[in-house]
């Protein structure tokens, strides 16, 4: 897709973070943008802000874990703009804890429902519309660097690995059948977002958290993580620009932090050589990463 003016984009998780960065980038490129998010107040603020900047936007409160709400997002998009050319399945959360066996069943249910099934619902609802349109279209699924290396809380890593695999499969199937829609998978590392505060949106039905958000140690850990993202994280708008460029170039993998590619290479090398997963990066890899870090 080379031309973006007057094309229609749909972004989930659009009220903040990477989703807002993508939405603002698309609007700046002349696209009409449908904003989907579960946070009503943040969604309204983002809508006001983008309209004040001259963007043509439409907001739809959407819980992506609910297929009927994703269906409604599509209906409202078609009712408002008549087509959809870009879909960003971006909404995502993170749950506390690090090990899969210590995470509660509701931790798993909530994060799988949002991070994985939210993408599934988006594909099942919007892709048939794009195929029927028989015109240029693109789906972007947000995974994570944690979808390429097993680093981070186990439920989060599991869902992001699944998103990468799902995206690769859909890409191959579309190519095999000669259909026009294209697919990309976004694998960001550190980005300045509020994902560490995901519990603010935790539904009552999934209240049995393995690490309650009121736990003092958990609160302190969240504050440290948020400070690190604020200090070292890429801006969401910069990620949005990378996404727009990838859509223009029809590039599948979007790695926001290429300086971390050696970590991915190490994992691939271990797979191909039958080496067990590394508990910590090798001294040689750490030396290489340190040399790549900006001074």
Active site residue 156: yes
Q: Which helix (H) or strand (E) holds 132?
A: helix 117-133
Query: What is the biggest distance separating any 2 CA atoms in the chain, rounded to whole angstroms?
Result: 57
How far is 230 from 233, CA to CA, in rounded Å?
Answer: 6
Distance CA 146, CA 264 (A): 10
What the block records as the tokens of 192 is 């300045």
**Please, are residues 150 and 277 in contact by the beta-carbon 8 Å criterion?**
yes
Q: Which of 81, 156, 171, 197 is catalytic?
A: 156
Determine how many CB atoms are found less than 10 A away from the CB of residue 188.
24
Task: Could you list the beta-strand ranges (E) of the chain.
Answer: 8-12, 32-37, 57-61, 86-89, 138-142, 182-187, 253-255
Q: Which residues are catalytic?
A: 156
């Amino acid at each position: 897709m080379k031309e973006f003016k007057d094309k229609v984009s749909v972004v989930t998780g659009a009220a903040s973070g990477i989703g807002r960065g993508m939405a603002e980038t698309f609007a700046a490129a002349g696209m009409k943008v449908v904003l989907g998010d579960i946070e009503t107040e943040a969604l309204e603020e983002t809508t006001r802000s983008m309209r004040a900047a001259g963007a043509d936007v439409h907001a739809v409160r959407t819980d992506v874990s609910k297929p009927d709400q994703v269906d409604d997002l599509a209906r409202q998009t078609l009712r408002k703009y008549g087509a959809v050319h870009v879909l960003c399945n971006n909404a995502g959360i993170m749950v506390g804890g690090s090990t899969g066996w210590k995470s509660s069943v509701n931790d798993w249910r909530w994060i799988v429902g949002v991070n994985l099934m939210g993408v599934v619902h988006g594909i099942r609802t919007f892709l048939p519309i794009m195929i029927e349109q028989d015109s240029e279209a693109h789906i972007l699924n947000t995974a994570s660097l944690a979808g390429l290396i097993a680093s981070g809380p186990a439920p989060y890593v599991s869902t992001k690995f699944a998103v990468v695999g799902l995206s690769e499969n859909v890409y191959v199937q579309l190519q095999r059948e000669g259909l026009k829609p294209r697919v990309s998978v976004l694998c960001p590392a550190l980005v300045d977002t509020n994902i560490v505060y995901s519990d603010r949106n935790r539904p009552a039905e999934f209240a049995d958290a393995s690490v309650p958000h009121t736990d003092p140690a958990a609160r302190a850990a969240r504050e440290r993580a948020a400070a690190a993202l604020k200090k070292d994280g890429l801006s969401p708008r910069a990620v949005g620009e990378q996404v727009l460029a990838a859509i223009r170039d029809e590039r599948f993998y979007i790695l926001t932090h290429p300086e971390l590619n050696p970590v991915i290479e190490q994992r691939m090398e271990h797979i191909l050589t039958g080496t067990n997963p590394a508990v910590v990066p090798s001294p040689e890899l750490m030396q290489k990463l340190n040399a790549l870090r900006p001074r």
